[in-house]
Amino acid sequence: MARSRPSGSKKSSHSRSNKPGGKKVYRSSGISSGAVNTDQRVIELDVDSLGYDGRGIARFNGRACFISGALPKERVKAEIVSANNKRVEAKLIKVLDPADYRVRPSCKVYQQCGGCDFQHLDYRSQIDLKQSSVNQMLTRSSGVKDIPWGTPIMDELNESGYEYRRKVRLACYFDKNKQTLLVGFRAAKSKKLVPIKTCVVVNSYLQTLLDELNCLFDDLHQNEAYKAELYLFAHIECVADEDSTTVCFRTIKPLSDRLRNRVVHWSEQHQINVWLKEGDQDLVLISGEQPFYILQDGTKVSYTPEDFLQVNPKVNKKLVSQVIEALRLTEQDTVLDLFSGLGNFSLPVARLAKSVTAVEAIDEMVQKSILNAQQNKLLNMDAVVQDLFNEDALGWLDKGADKIILDPPRAGAELVSQHIGRTGADTIAYISCNPSSLARDTKAILEQGYNISGAHLIDMFAQTSHVETLLIFKRKVL
286 Cβ contact partners less than 8 Å away, ≥ 6 residues apart: 260, 263, 264, 267, 274, 275, 276
How many residues appear in the chain?
Answer: 478
pTM here is 0.88
In a 13 Å sphere around the CA of 186, the CA atoms on its Cβ side amount to 9
d(CA 80, CA 93): 10
Q: How many CB atoms are located within 10 Å of the residue 114 CB?
A: 13
d(CA 262, CA 268): 10
DSSP per-residue letters across 16-42: EE--TTS--EE-TT----SSPPTT--E
CA angle 328, 134, 54 (to 5 degrees): 135
Q: How many CB atoms are located within 10 Å of the residue 133 CB?
A: 22
Please, are residues 451 and 467 in contact by the beta-carbon 8 Å criterion? no
CATH of 167-292, picked from 2.40.50.1070, 2.130.10.10, 3.40.50.2000, 3.40.1710.10, is 2.40.50.1070
Where in the chain are all domains bearing CATH 3.40.50.150? 123-158+312-475
% helix, strand, coil for the chain, step of 5: 25, 30, 45
**Structure confidence at residue 382 (pLDDT):** 96
- Using CB atoms within 10 A of its CB, is residue 141 exposed (0-12), middle (13-18) or buried (19+)? middle
d(CA 21, CA 271): 61
Residue 172 a catalytic site member: no
Q: 123-142 and 435-447 helices cross at what angle (nearest 10)?
A: 40
CATH of 16-97, picked from 2.40.50.140, 3.40.50.970, 1.10.1740.10, 1.50.10.20, is 2.40.50.140
371 Cβ contact partners less than 8 Å away, ≥ 6 residues apart: 302
Positive/negative CA dihedral, 415, 427, 51, 5: positive
Nearest partner of 91 among 109, 77, 112, 110, judged by Cα: 77
- Using CB atoms within 10 A of its CB, is residue 323 exposed (0-12), middle (13-18) or buried (19+)? buried
> From first to last of its 478 residues, what are the pLDDT tens digits of the chain?
433 333 333 333 333 344 444 455 555 443 333 444 445 789 999 999 998 788 999 999 899 999 999 999 999 999 999 999 889 999 999 999 999 999 999 999 999 998 999 999 999 999 999 999 999 999 998 889 899 999 999 999 999 999 999 999 999 999 999 999 999 999 988 889 999 999 999 999 999 999 999 999 999 999 999 999 999 999 999 999 999 999 999 999 999 999 999 999 999 999 999 999 999 999 999 999 999 999 999 999 999 998 999 999 999 999 999 999 999 999 999 999 999 999 999 999 999 999 999 999 999 999 999 999 999 999 999 999 999 999 988 888 888 999 999 999 999 999 999 999 999 999 999 999 999 999 999 999 999 999 999 999 999 999 999 999 999 999 987 6
What SS3 state is found at 249?
strand
Please, are residues 398 and 424 in contact by the beta-carbon 8 Å criterion? no
Where in the chain are all domains bearing CATH 2.40.50.140? 16-97
Where in the chain are all domains bearing CATH 2.40.50.1070? 167-292
**Structure confidence at residue 376 (pLDDT):** 97
CATH superfamily of 123-158+312-475: Vaccinia Virus protein VP39 (3.40.50.150)
Which is catalytic among the residues 65, 113, 199, 433? Answer: 433
